[in-house]
Structure 1
Amino acid sequence: MEIHFGILASIFGMFTTNLFMCDMLLYKSPEYNDKKIFKIFINLINLVIIIISLIILNLLTVK
């Protein structure tokens, strides 16, 4: 599979959207600021999504 600009743009879009949603949920919304367990859960989900995005990016660049 060849690397196209569209593939890289979509992965970048998913990555930045994930970071933006994390920022909005954890740091901007007052109802989520007090829930420490919820913050840990959101951070773990974000870590998994970031790792999956990086694995997909590596697989696309190797082929």
Structure 2
Amino acid sequence: MEEEEKSLRAQAQDAIYTEIIENTKELAEYRGSGGTVKALKELAEAYAWVTQPAQPH
């Protein structure tokens, strides 16, 4: 069970990281776009929660 949980956590981290990369590409294209900036911030926050759930975010 613990190994499966680690696998799910790793999958979640990878999925969020992939979305951060994709949004970063859009951010370069649409500098200052509020929607892209907000999405990137939210994804970074989600990644922080997934990688370090015990830390305050």
TM-score range, shorter chain: 0.5 to 0.7
CA-atom RMSD, angstroms?
2.5
- CA-CA distance at 1:48 after TM superposition: 1.8
**TM-score under structure 2 length normalisation:** 0.64
Would the alpha carbon gap of residues 11 and 18 (structure 1) be closer, same or farther in structure 2, given more than 3 Å must change? same
Of 29, 32, 36, which residue of structure 2 is paired with 1:33? 29
- What's the % identity of the aligned pairs? 0
Query: 2:16 maps to which residue?
Result: 18
Aligned length: 52
The answer to which structure, 1 or 2, has the higher relative contact order (CA under 8 A, 6+ apart) is: 1
Give the number of the structure whose alpha-carbon radius of gyration is greater. Answer: 1
Contact 2:16-2:43 at 8 Å conserved across structures: yes
- CA-CA distance at 1:38 after TM superposition: 2.6
Gap runs ≥5 in structure 1 = 59-63
